[in-house]
Amino acid sequence: MDLASFKSIRKCAQNLLENEDKIDYLINNAGVMRCPQWQTEDGLEMQMGTNHFGHFLFTELVMPLVKKSAASGEHPRIVIVSSLAHFWDSNGINFEDIHNEKNYDPKKVYGQSKLANILHAKELAKRLNNTGISVYVLHPGVIATELGRHLVIGTPKWIGCWLFPLFQWVVKTPFHGAQTTLYCTLEDKIECESGNYYSDCDKAPTKIAQAEDEEAAKKLWELSEKIVGLKD
């Protein structure tokens, strides 16, 4: 599945609906970080389009399978991987320029996309209240993966020579980086918690006021429904 393509997302979701009985755990983890000003297949800014809108659409399309899991007596969970970077744009999500066509800053736009993950999780948890489905959102840590492959763009060579070798000492391995995701997916003691933000296998505070703004979460949800084609 290509999260930068609504067509691909719909095809994958339809395949699951036709071939699977239920979904017990849905983990929204894929993403892109600080890429050039690219667009998705559907004309959306790449980071917001992939990291938020793609996951939003996929989650809604496969929700019937998650609800079947709850109906069968299971306690399904939806886990959304955000980032500590959700505060990288101190102004929060710019609803007036949601596709970031003006003054594109890859760092700030990545932050907005990760903030969108948090708002998505909080509004989803609210809408799924009393359904038996729990929602979690988390910062996995800084992990040694190819997510940061665009970080070197525009970085002076002298910084790269000194900083990146030192950076390796503070990053997590993929194994250790997966632990908070697994905690939110499998830990029994948080089974009845929903809508909270986690880091290092524990509940954590968010870093920007808009992350706790219920009106912003609702506004993003309604806008997302229109952008992905679920509502006119």
Q: What is the set of active-site residues? A: 110
Backbone angle region of 197, left / alpha / beta, with phi > 0 → left and psi within -120 to 50 → alpha: beta
Beta-bridge partner residues of 197? 137
∠ CA(169), CA(174), CA(179), 5° rounding? 105
CB within 8 A of 192, min separation 6: which ones?
A: 134
- Of the CA atoms within 13 Å of residue 172, those in its CB half-sphere come to 14
